[in-house]
Amino acid sequence: MEFLSDVTVELVRHNAADSDVVWAARVSTAGEQSLEAVHQDPERSRGLINYLMRDRHGSPFEHNSMTFFISAPILVFREFHRHRVGWCLPGDALIPVGPLTNGVNKKIKDIYADWHEGVHDSVGGVRELPSRRHPTTRTVNLDTGLIESARIADVFRSGIKPILKITTVHGKVLRCSPDHALLSRGAWVKAKDLAPADLISAQATVPAGESTGVPGPLREGVRDEEILSVVPDGEEETYDISMPGPWHNFIADGIVVHNSYNEESGRYRELQPVFYVPGRERRLVQQGKPGKYTFVEGDDEQYKLVTEAMEDSYRRSYEAYQEMLKAGIAREVARAVLPVGLFSSMYATCNARSLMHFLSLRTKDERATVPSFPQREIEMVAEKMEAIWAGLMPLTYAAFNAAGRVAP
Ligand SMILES: Cc1cc2nc3c(=O)[nH]c(=O)nc-3n(C[C@H](O)[C@H](O)[C@H](O)COP(=O)(O)OP(=O)(O)OC[C@H]3O[C@@H](n4cnc5c(N)ncnc54)[C@H](O)[C@@H]3O)c2cc1C
C-alpha cells in the first residue's frame, strides 16, 4: 500500500507555441501569407498577442494542443471532468445508437437533449432519463479493428467552436472542431493536422479474422479511407461524447473519433493501492461562510488524526476490494468500496484557451481580477500544468497574467 501527498503532471505531447497564436490571428488580414508567421520570431508579435488577450479575441488561442498525463486522487478528477472544453462535434453529427445489428443513427444534439432534458414518452410527455439507461453506441476495439457495442458514459455541450469539414474519397463527410482527434494509421491525429491524401479510419464491413490473418465472417469494423479535402466550415454549437475505457472512441458520421479525457479504467484492470494523504503543508481547517472560506493550518493532533484515519480507512476498503476479487466478483462491482482518495491517472488534452479558462478557475492567484477559491488538490495539478505551459508559450502566458488571468 502506498500513500502519496503530491500529484504528478507530465507533458506527453504538444504542438503549442506563441507563433501558433500569431498565424491564426493574422489570417484575418494576411490570408494564406499568415502561414509565414509560423516560423517567425514571436517576440515581434508580443503587442498583437497582448491585444488579442485584452480584447478577448479567443479563437487564435485554440490552434495548438497539449496532452498532459495526470496522476491524482479521484476527487481531483471529479472536479476536472466538469471542464467540457475542447474537442467536439456539431449538433447534426450522426451517432449510431442501439443494438449492433439493429441500431439507428441519431444526431448528437438529440442524444444530448434526451440525456439532459428527458425522453419524450409515448403520449408526448417528458420523463427523466434514468442514468442506468445510458444509450449504447459503437466503439472500435483497437486490438481487433472490429466495432463493438459500448455504453456512452456522458454527453455534453461544449460551446460555439470553429468547424472543419473533412471529406473522404468514398464520400464520408465529418464536420468537427479542429482539435477533435481522428484515428490515422493507428495514431490519434487532430483534425487540423490532417490534409488531403492522409488516411483516416472509417466504418466498413470487413472479414472478422483480418487482424489475426484467419479470415472469418463479415463483421462491422474499420478500414483506412483517404481524405479528399479538409476545409473550414463556419462556427457552431458543438457537443462531445465521453466513452468508457479501454478504447475511448466512438463513431461519428461513419468515422472513428476520440474523446478528450482518458482515465484509467476500474472495469478493465485491478486498481492499485495508492492513496492520497495530505502533506503537512496542506491547510486542514476551514473557516468562514460558503463562498468566503479560508483555510488555516491544523495543529499536530489534527494532522495525526487525518493521517491515521485516512490510512486506516484506505487499508480496510482495499482489503474488502481484494476479498471480493478473490471471491470472483467483477472488478467493476468490487471497486464500489474504494474511496475518492484512491489515485487514478488520465490523459487530458486541451488548447491554450481552454487551459487559461481552467487555470482561472482552478488556481488562486493575486494577479486574477476575478478571484477563485479552488480545492487545494486540483490547484496542485493546475499549478504544475501552468508551469509547463508557461515554458511552451511564454508571451501568451505573460499576456494572460497581464490581462488579470481572464481567459480570452
Ligand atoms: C471554486 C469552484 C467551486 C465549484 N463548486 C461547485 C459545486 O459546488 N457544485 C458543482 O456542481 N460544481 C462546482 N464547480 C464546478 C463549476 O460549476 C463548473 O462546472 C466548472 O468549473 C467548469 O467550468 P465551465 O463550465 O466554465 O468550464 P468548461 O466546461 O470548460 O466550459 C468553458 C466555457 O465554455 C462555455 N460553455 C461550455 N459549455 C457550455 C454550455 N453547455 N452552454 C453554454 N456555454 C458553455 C462557457 O463559457 C464556459 O465557461 C465549482 C468550480 C469551482 C472553480
Tell me, letter by letter, the H, E, C secondary structure of 217-246: CEEEEEEEEEEEEEEEEEEEEEEEEECCCC
**Which residue has a Cα nearest atom 19 of ligand 1?**
82
Residue 66 corresponds to which cell in the numbers above?
A: 497539449
362 is in an annotated binding site: yes
Mean pLDDT for all residues in the chain: 83
Decide whether any atom of ligand 1 lies within 6 Å of the 54 Cβ. no
**Residue 110 zone, left/alpha/beta (φ > 0; ψ -120 to 50; rest):** alpha
**Does the C-beta of 58 come closer than 6 Å to ligand 1?**
no
C-beta separation of 245 from 262 below 8 A: yes
Name the class of domain 2-85+344-402: alpha beta
Q: Give me the phi and psi of 337, to 5 degrees please.
A: -85, -10
- Is 132 known as a binding-site position? no
Q: From the alpha carbon of 372, which atom of ligand 1 is closest? A: 1
CA separation for the pair 175, 162 (Å, rounded): 10
* Torsion, CA 336, CA 337, CA 343, CA 348, rounded to 10: 10
- Whether 84 lines ligand 1, by a CB cut-off of 6 Å, is yes
Per-residue pLDDT, 16: 87
Per residue in 179-214, pLDDT (tens digit) is 788 888 877 788 888 899 999 888 887 665 555 555
Residues 251-265, mean pLDDT to the nearest whole number: 73
Indicate the pairing of strand 187-190 with strand 126-127: unpaired
Q: Is 322 helix (H, G, I), strand (E, B) or coil?
A: helix
> What confidence score (pLDDT) does residue 132 get?
43
| Annotated active-site residue in 26, 138, 175, 362 | 362
Q: Is the pLDDT of residue 72 over 90?
A: yes
Give the number of the atom of ligand 1 that is nearest the alpha carbon of residue 358: 30
Question: Which of the two residues, 260 and 191, has the higher pLDDT score?
Answer: 191
pLDDT of residue 22: 86
Of the ranges 138-142, 228-232, 295-299, which one carries the lowest mean pLDDT score? 138-142
User: To the nearest whole percent, how much of the chain has pLDDT over 70?
Assistant: 84
Cα separation of 269 and 253, whole Å?
A: 31
- Cβ–ligand 1 distance for 83 under 6 Å, the answer yes
* 85 contacts: CB under 8 Å, gap ≥ 6: 158, 159, 260, 350, 353, 354, 357, 358
Rounded to an integer, the average pLDDT of 118-143 is 65
- The answer for residues whose C-beta is within 8 angstroms of residue 94's C-beta and 6 or more apart is 105, 106, 107, 108, 252, 253
| Ligand 1 atom index nearest CA of 361 | 53
Q: Is 362 a catalytic residue?
A: yes
The CA angle 7-12-13, to the nearest 5 degrees, is: 145
CA atoms of 206 and 215, how far apart (whole Å): 9
Average pLDDT of the segment spanning 377-385: 97
Q: Which of 108-112, 265-269, 270-274 has the lowest mean pLDDT?
A: 265-269
**Range name among 5-9, 87-91, 223-227 with the lowest pLDDT average:** 87-91
Bridge partners, 189 (sequence order): 182
Q: How confident is residue 303, by pLDDT bands cut at 50, 70 and 90? A: very high
C-alpha cell at 340: 475518492
Which of 82, 117, 179, 260 maximizes ligand 1 atoms within 8 Å of its Cβ, making it the mutation to test the pocket? Answer: 82
Which residue's alpha carbon is nearest to atom 28 within ligand 1?
83
State in words which class domain 89-259 has.
mainly beta
The closest residue, in CA terms, to atom 23 on ligand 1 is 83
Name the residue ranges covered by the structural domains of the chain.
Answer: 2-85+344-402, 89-259, 278-341
Percent of the chain with pLDDT over 90: 38
The interaxial angle of helices 376-392 and 352-362, nearest 10 deg, is 140
Q: Is 79 labelled as part of a ligand binding site?
A: yes
Q: Which residues does residue 240 pair with via DSSP β-bridges, in sequence order?
A: 156
Rg from Cα positions in the chain? 23
Closest residue (by CA) to atom 41 of ligand 1? 157
pLDDT in tens, 91-114: 777 888 887 777 788 888 888 888
List, for residues 150-190, the tens digit of each pLDDT value: 888 778 777 778 889 999 888 888 888 887 888 888 777 88
The arithmetic mean of pLDDT across residues 23-47, rounded, is 69
Mutational pocket test of ligand 1: of 361, 364, 378, 405, the residue with most ligand atoms within 8 Å of the beta carbon: 361
pLDDT at 136: 87
Residue 396 has pLDDT above 90, yes or no: yes
**Residue closest to 359 by CA, chosen among 347, 345, 346, 372:** 372
